[in-house]
Structure 1
């Protein structure tokens, strides 16, 4: 079962530079917080809080830890993309023509979609993790 997530839709065409900067900063902050959250989950999976003799426990926990490592790499990559994009937003102020605006909005939509898709994966991961932990943790 997966978490319920709405589809991505862009509303960036009419946003001001300040709004785009704010949204980019908000996403960077959210991903930084997510890095800490993933660290916590990995630490939690390493603690002796699980029912003994549960079938495939070690393998499942190892799989979750590996997924966390992969997601951490993706977070770092997305943070780099957002940082570069924030720099591009500052440069966009110098651009006054429609072609430049359209190109910029398209780039902004692309990075926003990447973050949206990543967060969807994270939500689904957490959903699966929490369901599993509920079944294997000591009461």
Structure 2
């Protein structure tokens, strides 16, 4: 990319770093989801707590929703990474603006997913911690 390009190398590098971080976080969350699934399906819970199995069933349903959301997000990130290669070929500001706008939209989507997943995970851990 030369200095006459409209998208700076710095902006492209920042987008690339974002994608690498997102992919790393997706891999980590996949491991967390596996752990949470195993935890929710384990036999360590006592039946003496009121509504324990109903609450666990709710969490199990929610983890399925989180798993689907993560799979969808992963596919979007992978597609975005492929499309980012097109930024190198942009030769006008409107082309650059589309890529950067898409990147920012994905960034907001990813941050919303993380927030929701962390809230879910906190609820699961707080509940399970209180009954073990």
TM over 0.5: yes
SS at the partner of 1:93? Answer: helix
SS in 2 for 1:52: coil
User: How large is the Cα RMSD of the aligned pairs?
Assistant: 1.5
Cα shift readout 1:78-105 (whole Å, capped 9, x = no counterpart): 0100001001111110002111111111
Within the alignment, does 1:82 sit opposite 2:77 as a pair? yes
**Which residue of 2 is the match for residue 108 of structure 1?**
103
Partner-residue secondary structure (3-state), 1:16: helix
Give me the TM-score of the superposition, normalised by structure 2. Answer: 0.88
CA–CA separation in structure 2 for the residues paired with 1:47 and 1:74: 24
Matched with 1:6 is none
Query: Aligned partners of 2:125, 2:22: CA distance in 1, in Å?
Result: 24
Q: Please list every run of 5 or more consecutive structure 2 residues that lacks an aligned counterpart in the other structure.
A: 1-6
> Following TM superposition, by how much is the alpha carbon of 1:52 offset from its aligned partner in structure 2, in angstroms?
2.8
Partners of 2:122 and 2:15 in 1: CA distance: 30
Q: How does 1:1-139 map to 2 (within 5 A)?
A: 15-137=10-132
TM-score normalized with structure 1 length: 0.84
Residue 51 of structure 1 deviates from its aligned partner by: 2.8
Bigger radius of gyration among the two: 2
Equivalents in 1 of 2:47, 2:60: separation in Å? 19
Q: Which consecutive segments of 4 or more residues in structure 1 shift more than 6 A? A: none
Structure whose residues are more often helix by fraction? 2
Mark the runs of 5 or more structure 1 residues left unpaired by the alignment: 1-12
Distance in 1 separating the partners of 2:86 and 2:15: 13
